[in-house]
Structure 1
Amino acid sequence: MTTAQEARGTWPATDAGRAVLIAGPTASGKSALALRLAEATGGVIVNTDSMQVYRDLRIITARPTREEEARVPHRLYGHRDAAINCSVGMWLDDAAAVLAGIRTSGRMPIFVGGTGLYFKALLRGLANVPQVPAEIREAVRGRLERDGIEALHAELARKDPVMGERLKPRDRTRVARALEVFEGTGRSIADWHAHGLPPLLAPASMTAVFLAPDRGELYARIDRRFETMVAHGALDEVAALAERRLDPLLPAMKAHGVPALIRHLRGEISRAEAAAIGALDTRHYAKRQFTWFRHQLPEFEWVLPVEATRHLNLPD
């Protein structure tokens, strides 16, 4: 019996109800582990990272390479344009369609990524907020740029006191989102959150692991990886994105490293300074990922990356 066959004997790849969830901070080795599991079981990898959905940002978001994507089926990677604000709801709709196809094929879905809200939506469901008309969204964003976040937060507090109290006055993205939902639907986003969509996965039918490497080792790896990204095409990737002159509030425009590299391209800071800022932002994000998953998703079992293969019953 081959190694892959042995793994298939451990993992019921033909069990249409089985799923594996692999989460963890950025640069913890999630993608490599998912690839190994998918190769061993015949599974399908499903992106669960909010930045890796954008086709414009392969390098700086550390998406799987084209060679890796050719080895096993990958879904929901680079399928959205950077001009789109891919919300959790949009991703969940995409994931539901992909999951249905995987189930039909009899394969095992392997959800991998670091976006806690995506995993939470998979397991807990999501508020069913209607699509806000583009003209309302653009008008709100226009007022934000013209009048500033303080004025927009004051407007939100008048129209939607609940969210005005709940959101920090400097939280540009969430304040704008709350205001556009209220103007587009006539209801507070808090009301919509009270009535949501059902979860896609049942806890009893899944294995969920969170890769938890040593912090010092992880931060050093983040620094090395960011330098490698910049040296191998990330700067050109960001330059092409900057040329599109998209709304700076779009998620793709705020991907870790993108704002700093754009500043470098404008001549405001050196390449070394941009790389240092991008790496620092990524380390801060990794720290938040540890905290978020610990408090929000107790379903995940924390494991050291070196122990993950044994934990998932994969051969060494």
Structure 2
Amino acid sequence: MKSKLYKKKTIVLLGGPTASGKSDLALDLAKLIDGEIINADSMQVYKNFPILTSQPPISFKNSVKHHMYGYFETNKSYNGSIWLKDAIKKIKKVLLDKKTPIIVGGTGLYLEFISKGISNIPNITKKTKNKVEKLFLQKNLINIYDYLMDIDPKYAKKINYNDKLRITRAIEVYFETKKNISFFHKKRMENQSFDFFKVLLAPSKEKILINCTSRLEKMLNIGVIDEFKRNYKKVQNCNIKKAIGYQEIDAYLKNKISLLDMSKTIISNTRKYSKRQFTWFNNRYEEQIKVDSYKKSSLILETLSKIT
């Protein structure tokens, strides 16, 4: 199995919502296929907050090599382009070492970038941004969404009518290039040098809730609040502030909310985020196998054996 996979440059992509058990499944799978794990979670790349971002524990890392966890400074901005460049380097190194790369995370776009590439959209000028800002002052969001439906119905149907961020981006691209954003998505170059095997871990909503609750209890027990106190001053304009739990713990330490309210809010926000991830993976991931438990590594191995 080992030689087959690395010789064919097969890369396992393991996606799924938060609190689904991806780290456990990745570890079991890595042991079965002699693999190494590469992070595809936009929060777990940051240093100083391993508990807050639920990075795999030291015991996992001692058992199987893990890459791109806690490697990026918390005072710097991170994006998909940085991740893709670093991930490709790691993939090549893992294959060179005759191991199978297992890319695991809940940031679906990262998994899409590695398998399909990033759209080569030109930079948006300040002039265009100002033009779009004026448009939003003149028309309401529904009207602008209708306009997007006229110029790019394919993309408009993929997003929500009140998703201002994506609507703005699509209009900016059209004003800047005279081409709609779907044109650039079609132009993405697929990464032909690798074969991808996509796994989706999708437990029931009830199981996700249980996992969210138990994970928070564990985070509190092993010191997430002390971790926050030690490191929050190191954070400047960094995406780590968007990590679930960051704002809630900050509010608790400033005596704005109680510990109980903090815990309830973290669990609620984690569930909501998980639901959004479910929607994304169901619409865009195109997995070759879906499992509902991290204990299904042998089933994945069986499926993988049939197609490689």
In the superposition, the TM-score normalised over structure 2's length comes to 0.76
Identity %: 29
Mapped partners of 1:90, 1:179: distance in 2:
25
Q: Secondary structure at the match of 1:22?
A: strand
Is residue 242 of structure 1 aligned with residue 197 of structure 2? no
Counterpart amino acid of 1:220? Answer: I
Cross-structure match for 2:253? 265
Contact 1:96/1:200 (<8 A) preserved: no
What is the identity, as a one-letter code, of the residue corresponding to 1:213? P
Distance of 1:46 and 1:38 partners within structure 2 = 11
- Distance in 2 between the 1:246 and 1:173 partners? 23
Corresponding residue for residue 290 of structure 2: 302
Does residue 117 of structure 1 match 2:109? yes
SS in 2 for 1:53: coil
Q: Distance in 1 between matches of 2:177 and 2:236?
A: 28
| Whole-angstrom CA distance in 2 between matches of 1:71 and 1:225 | 21
| Partner deviation per Cα, 1:32-77 (whole Å, 9 max, x = no partner) | 1111222233211111111111112201111111221122211111
Are 2:213 and 1:227 aligned? no
- Name the counterpart of 1:144: none
- Give the Cα–Cα distance (whole angstroms) in 1 for the partners of residues 114 and 204 of structure 2: 27
Equivalent position of 2:80 in the other structure: 88
Q: Which amino acid aligns with 1:289?
A: Q
Amino acid at match of 2:84: L
Shift of 1:295: 0.7
| Distance across 2 between alignment mates of 1:236 and 1:176 | 39
Q: CA-to-partner distance for each residue in 1:85-120, whole Å, 9 max, x for gaps?
A: 211111111111111112222211111111111111
Q: 2-side partners of 1:266 and 1:46: how far apart? A: 36
Give the whole-Å Cα distance in 2 for the aligned partners of 1:84 and 1:14.
Answer: 34
For the 8 Å contact 1:22–1:208, the answer to whether it is kept is: yes
Distance verdict in 2 for CA 1:293–1:170, change over 3 Å: closer
Deviates more, 1:14-23 or 1:189-198: 189-198
Q: 1:293 pairs with 281, 285, 288, which one?
A: 281
When structure 1 is superposed on structure 2, of 238-247 and 93-102 the one drifting more is 238-247
Matched, 1:69 2:57: no
Match of 2:51 in 1: 59
Q: Aligned partners of 2:191, 2:91: CA distance in 1, in Å?
A: 12
Structure 1 residues without counterparts, runs of 5 or longer: 1-8, 141-149
Report Cα offsets for 1:181-201 as digits up to 9, x if no partner: 99xx99999486565454366
TM-score normalised according to structure 1 size: 0.74
How many pairs were matched up? 284
- Give the deviation of 1:229 after TM superposition: 0.6
Write the distance in 2 (CA, Å) between the matches of 1:126 and 1:278: 32
- Do structure 1's residue 313 and structure 2's residue 305 form an aligned pair? no
Residues in 1 aligned to 2:180 and 2:74: alpha-carbon distance in whole angstroms = 24
Q: Which residue of 2 aligns with 1:143?
A: none
Deviation at 1:128, TM superposition (A): 3.3
- 1:283 aligns with 271
Partner of 2:196: 206
Residue type of the alignment partner of 2:99 = R
